[in-house]
Structure 1
Amino acid sequence: MTWSWEYVPSEQHVTVSAPADFLAVVEQRAAELVRAAGVLYLDGASYQGSGEPMRYLDVAGGLLAYYVVPRLELVVVCQLTPPV
Structure 2
Amino acid sequence: MTDWSWEYNPSAEYVTHGLPPGVVAEVERLAAELAALGHDSVRVGRPFDREAGLREFDLLGGRGFISFLAVPRHECVYVCNVIWYG
TM-score normalised by the chain length of structure 1: 0.79
Gapped regions of structure 1 (runs ≥ 5):
42-50
Q: Cα offset for 1:4?
A: 0.4
Larger C-alpha radius of gyration, 1 or 2?
Answer: 1
Once residues 37 and 26 of structure 1 are traced to their aligned partners in structure 2, the CA distance between those partners, rounded to angstroms, is: 17
Q: Deviations over 1:44-74 (max 9, x none)?
A: xxxxxxx811110111111100011101100
- Structure 2, unmatched stretches of 5+, are 42-50
Percent identical pairs in the alignment equals 37
| Equivalent in the alignment of 1:25 | 26
Contact 1:58 1:64 in 2 (8 A): yes
Contact kept? 1:56, 1:63, Cα under 8 Å: yes
| CA drift at 1:83 | 2.7
- Is the contact made by 1:19 and 1:82 (CA closer than 8 Å) also made in structure 2? no
- 2:26 pairs with 1:53: no
Larger RCO of the pair (alpha carbons < 8 Å, separation 6+): 1
